[in-house]
Amino acid sequence: MRLKVGEEVDRVRFEVERGKVREFARAIQDPDPRWTDEEAARAEGLAGVPAPLTFVVVAGHHRDQRGAMEKLGVDIARIVVGEVGWAYHRPALVGDVLDGRRVVTGVRVREGKDGTMTMIDMETVWRDGAGEPVVTQTETLIERGEG
Amino acid sequence: MSGGAPLEVGPITVTDIVRFAGAGGDFNPLHHDEAAARAAGFPGLIAMGQMQAGMLARVLTDGFPLAEIRDYRVRFVAPVRVGDRLTLAIEEDEVEESAGIATHHLRLTATRDDDVVAVRGKAIVERRLGT
């Protein structure tokens, strides 16, 4: 592990695009009209078409995942995602431009029968154009032992 | 609400996994290159956890207005393979009421058709009382 708690892993910015929201909803096999239909969204009291709860994973298109793992100093071939969470400040809507800084929030090392296992906690606060938080994403990556 | 009827998805196809790779931007070869998946010790292609996490979120968003959902988190406990069917379920753990707000604590699971739980999720929903 190269980075320390509090250090930035990466930072990306992307727009919540209407077509991308539709594509994502289809990929998670969710036929709910609120992801595509302005009227269904407004009937729910929303100002526009919302994105599904886990939509910010599309940041994968904008991140340099290999570069991020190199910066963390972990072996990408031994990395698995253990946990992911999202705390919602408000629904993300089509047209929002989200800016997220991914920061290391914890590093735990455990010795097991397969060698050293490292658990890395990271947090990304996704902020809108006004700098207000929309969703806070937390993730725990596990680097499995070499054994 | 104590959870609607469970939803069934699958059997998961390679096309489903590739579609999610394109939607989400996850091009780890474990999820589209059979040889890479086998080299990593898996019996074949496996889905990215985020695909199951997204599918599972549906039992939450089907049941509550989006603006009332405060928190959703998942733990990936077993892989989802090509051919697996998943049962997506939600149940209520408890409801706390205070200051005119009901806080619902919910538990979610995505279970494979061999009865192995693949994803365990938790969610918090806050509803204003009397509106």
For chain B, residues with pLDDT lower than 50 are 1-2
Look at chain A and report how many structural domains it folds into: 1
A65–chain B nearest CA distance, Å? 9
| B 87-116 → A contacts, CB under 8 A | none
Q: For chain B, give the percent of residues with pLDDT over 70.
A: 97
**Is residue A95 in a domain?**
yes
A62 touches chain B (CB under 8 A): yes
User: Whole-model pTM?
Assistant: 0.94
What pLDDT score does B2 carry?
A: 47
**Residue B67 confidence (pLDDT):** 96
Torsion of CA B11, A54, A86, A78, to 10 degrees: 60
Summary count for chain A: helices (H), strands (E): 3, 5
* pLDDT tens, position by position, A3-24: 889 999 999 999 999 999 999 9
What pLDDT, on the 0 to 100 scale, is given for residue B60?
97
Q: Could you tell me the CATH number of the domain that includes residue A73?
A: 3.10.129.10
Cα separation, B30 vs B41, in Å, equals 10
Question: Would you say residue A34 lies in a domain?
Answer: no
CB B49 within 8 A of CB B84: no
Eight-state DSSP code of residue A52: P
Is the pLDDT score of A43 beyond 90?
yes
> Do B55 and A45 count as a contact with CB atoms less than 8 A apart?
no
| Lookup: tokens for A118 | 């490292």
Q: What is the pLDDT of residue B3?
A: 57
Give the distance from residue B37's alpha carbon to the nearest chain A alpha carbon, in angstroms.
Answer: 11
Complex ipTM: 0.94
What value does the mean pLDDT of chain A take? 93
What pLDDT shows up at residue A147? 59
Tell whether A116 lies on the interface with B, counting CB pairs under 8 A. no
Q: Domains (ranges, CATH) in chain B?
A: 7-12+47-128 (3.10.129.10)
Chain A CB contacts of B28 below 8 Å: 65
Query: What is the distance between the alpha carbons of residues B58 and B66, in angstroms, rounded to a whole number?
Result: 11
Query: Residue B131: what pLDDT?
Result: 58
In-domain check, residue A32: no
* Contact criterion met (CB < 8 Å) for A57 and B60: no
- Cis previous bond, B11, omega within 30: yes
A52 part of a folded domain: no
Beta strands in chain A (DSSP E): 8-15, 79-88, 97-112, 115-127, 133-143
B54 with A88: Cβ contact below 8 A:
no
* DSSP type of residue A65: H
Query: Measured between alpha carbons, how far is A46 from A95 in angstroms, rounded to an integer?
Result: 13
Residue of B nearest to A20 (CA): B23
Q: Which of A121, A52, A58, A63 lies closest to A88 in space, CA to CA?
A: A52
Tell me the C-alpha distance between B113 and B85, whole Å.
Answer: 5
Give residue-wise pLDDT tens across range B110-121. Answer: 999 999 999 999
Classify residue A33: in a domain, yes or no: no
The whole-number pLDDT of residue B130 equals 77
**B16, B57, B75: residue with CB nearest A53:** B57
Give the pLDDT confidence of A54-101 residue by residue, as tens digits.
999 999 889 888 889 889 988 887 888 899 999 999 999 999 999 999
Token output for B127: 């509803």
Domain that residue A93 falls in: 8-16+60-143
Q: Does the residue A42 lie in any domain?
A: no
Collect all residues of chain A within an 8 Å Cβ-Cβ radius of residue B61.
Answer: 30, 32, 34, 52-53
pLDDT of residue A135 exceeding 70: yes
Residue B58: closest C-alpha in chain A: A30
Tell me whether residue A44 is in a domain: no
